[in-house]
């Protein structure tokens, strides 16, 4: 490790974070809103082929969908860089989640109150794998508004899992969500006994 007087630059800690959730909840939007580099997107047009496969109820105006991943990066401070990997939301692309989750320290599960049931699969995925996460409710214009406690009860979350309200389009809101996740990871690490 370099001393304080050394001219050798310190390397920032790199942390892999997933941005997950159901179809059309705003994962691509959140990664694009917060990324300090041009985000990598793997979006394709929704075509008639997806009729009967993708449930567009509540998001009828959606014209594109992520077919592999979204990628972005944000430097929190000189010592911490977050690498963001947005997952695809449709069931048929979930086989990619295992690969994307490899090496991740935590996840944001984006939820949409118009289709809250679409969050269950992502919550279950991270609970079964023991990967720390929080739930961020993307407050869409015109969508029903619920309190954090109402969302927690509806999704049946453990009390220690943070639930936040956010606007995935807003850089400040997305940054608040990511900082809350980092704080959750640090707090959780402090509660975990050494060697477990």
What is the structure's pLDDT at 18?
A: 93
Count the Cβ atoms, other than its own, within 10 Å of residue 144.
10
Instruction: Give the predicted TM-score (pTM) of the model.
Output: 0.77
Low-confidence ranges of the chain (pLDDT < 50): 1-3, 49, 67
3-state SS string over 8-35?
A: CCCCCEEEEEEEEECCCCCHHHHHHHHC
What is the structure's pLDDT at 90?
A: 64
Structure tokens at 98: 């295992």
Residues 119 and 135: their CA atoms lie apart, in Å, by 9
> How does strand 13-21 pair with strand 106-111?
parallel
All structural domains of the chain with their residue ranges: 13-40+67-168
What is the structure's pLDDT at 2?
A: 46
Q: pLDDT for 164-177, tens place per residue?
A: 999 999 999 999 99
Reported CATH class of domain 13-40+67-168:
alpha beta
| Pair 185, 107: CB distance under 8 Å | no
What is the structure's pLDDT at 76?
A: 83
């Amino acid at each position: 490790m370099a001393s304080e007087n050394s001219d050798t630059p310190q390397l920032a800690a790199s942390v892999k974070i997933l941005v997950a959730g159901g179809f059309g909840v705003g994962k691509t939007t959140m990664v694009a809103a917060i990324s300090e580099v041009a985000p990598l997107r793997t979006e394709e047009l929704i075509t008639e082929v997806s009729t009967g496969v993708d449930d567009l109820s509540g998001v009828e105006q959606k014209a594109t969908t992520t077919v592999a991943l979204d990628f972005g990066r944000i430097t929190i401070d000189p010592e911490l860089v977050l690498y963001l990997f947005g997952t695809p939301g449709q069931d048929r692309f979930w086989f990619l989640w295992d690969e994307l989750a490899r090496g991740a320290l935590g996840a944001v599960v984006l939820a949409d109150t118009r289709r809250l049931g679409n969050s269950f699969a992502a919550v279950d995925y991270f609970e079964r794998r023991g990967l720390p996460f929080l739930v961020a409710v993307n407050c869409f214009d015109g969508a029903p508004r619920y309190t954090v406690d109402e969302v927690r009860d509806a999704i049946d979350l453990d009390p220690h899992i943070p639930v936040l309200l956010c606007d995935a389009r807003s850089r400040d809101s997305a940054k608040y969500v990511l900082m809350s996740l980092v704080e959750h990871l640090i707090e959780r690490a402090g509660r975990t006994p050494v060697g477990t």
